[in-house]
Amino acid sequence: MSLKIKEVNTKKELKQFIKFPFDLYKGNPYYVTPLIEFEMSTLRKDKNPAFDHAEAQYWVVEKDGNIVGRIAAIILEPELKEKSLARFGWIDFIDDKEVSQLLFTTAKKWAETKGAKAIHGPMGFTDLDFEGALISGFDQIATQATIYNHSYYIDHFRAWNMEIAATWVELRGKAPTKNPEKVSRVVKLIQDRYKVKIKDFKNTKEILKYAPGVFEVLNEAYSNLYGYIPLTQKQIDYYVEQYFGFIRKDFVCVIVNEADEVVGFALTLPSLSKAFQKAKGSLYPFGFIHVLKAFYYNDTADLFLIGVKPEYQKLGVHALIFDYLQKVYEKHGIKYMASGPMLEDNKNVLNTWSEFDIDIGKIKRSCFIKHF
């Protein structure tokens, strides 16, 4: 039977779009199921403030009445205007090049009608969405913030004559039981010399006051990174509401200057990967129990986001973050840690880990680009 491509237009169809990978990766120990509610919020125009300056269309491919592939095509106005670029994301398919070619070609045609001269991905609406196709590390469990995909995807990208535009690496390893001497030595010196300190929060509610400052630092620190589009105030408010309910006070490090302005931060949390796998896409009725257990009984931490204002990056502020996290992890029995994606050519960031016994590069993911 021939393949049929369908536009996703209704909430029911969108939910089917979101749940397709649940079947594709059923039984796979490395795939982490996203929360359906979060995915719906991200992909709906009436929910996600990214649509103030974005357009998107979603499609699924059906064969014999069953979904066998999906793709999202996205236009971000600033990226289209400056670089004539469109994006593709939420890309999944069975190992059938007819399916993937139909998905790619459909997304390309739509992007061309919007004036794009190239399309790159997997990318989302922002840097906080899933991005980068896995190209190595297929035997490693994904974090709740990263894509897992079959190895055959890369052959399909290349069959469509796509090139690698950017590559990210992730770290995996044992959490340090002791900070390197160099880190410990400079901590007090930095605090005294540059008048910065780590905020001591009494409760999670206190952290919310500094959340906007955290995202302002994120905008500054990530501004020159591949594919980063600065978050608007509406998007910052949206992410504060979305993510700050999933934080644990001790696992958040916020560094401020004398004016009590955020100059650096680390958003980390106990790993929710296995909890999300057990939740199977939903917090209710029982998914939240798995998440709650993971919050308080866990030996692994995920380093979700770390950022330092550019003018503070060479002053050793990262040392304060690492010193804080090492002590917190030791206190809470964290034995292992995993980072989010870091650009392979971002030496400033990668060099901050050089003092640690951490494996960087076992897990790699890339953004692919196709010029029209």
Extents of the domains making up the chain: 4-171, 173-359
Are the beta carbons of 279 and 242 closer than 8 angstroms? no
- Report d(CA 60, CA 92) in Å as an integer: 9
Judge if 4-171 and 173-359 fold alike in CATH terms. Answer: yes
What is the full per-residue pLDDT of the chain (372 aa) written as tens digits? 689 999 999 999 999 999 999 999 999 999 999 999 999 999 999 999 999 999 999 999 999 999 999 999 999 999 999 999 999 999 999 999 999 999 999 999 999 999 999 999 999 999 999 999 999 999 999 999 999 999 999 999 999 999 999 999 999 988 988 877 777 778 888 888 999 999 999 988 899 999 999 999 999 999 999 999 999 999 999 998 887 777 889 999 999 999 999 999 999 999 999 999 999 999 998 899 999 999 999 999 999 999 999 999 888 888 899 899 999 999 999 999 999 899 998 887 787 777 677 777 789 999 999 999
Are the beta carbons of 365 and 147 closer than 8 angstroms? yes
Residue 180 confidence (pLDDT)? 72
Structure letter (DSSP) for residue 56: E
Q: Where are the alpha helices (DSSP H) in 114-263?
A: 152-159, 181-194, 204-208, 211-221, 233-243
- Report d(CA 325, CA 51) in Å as an integer: 36
- Report d(CA 249, CA 219) in Å as an integer: 23
Residue 114 confidence (pLDDT)? 97
Which of 329, 224, 205 minimizes the C-alpha distance to 266? 329
Residue 10 confidence (pLDDT)? 97
- Report d(CA 75, CA 115) in Å as an integer: 10
pTM for the complete prediction?
0.93
- Give the DSSP H or E segment for 305: strand 300-308
Overall CATH class of domain 4-171: alpha beta
What's the CATH architecture for 173-359?
A: 3-Layer(aba) Sandwich (3.40)
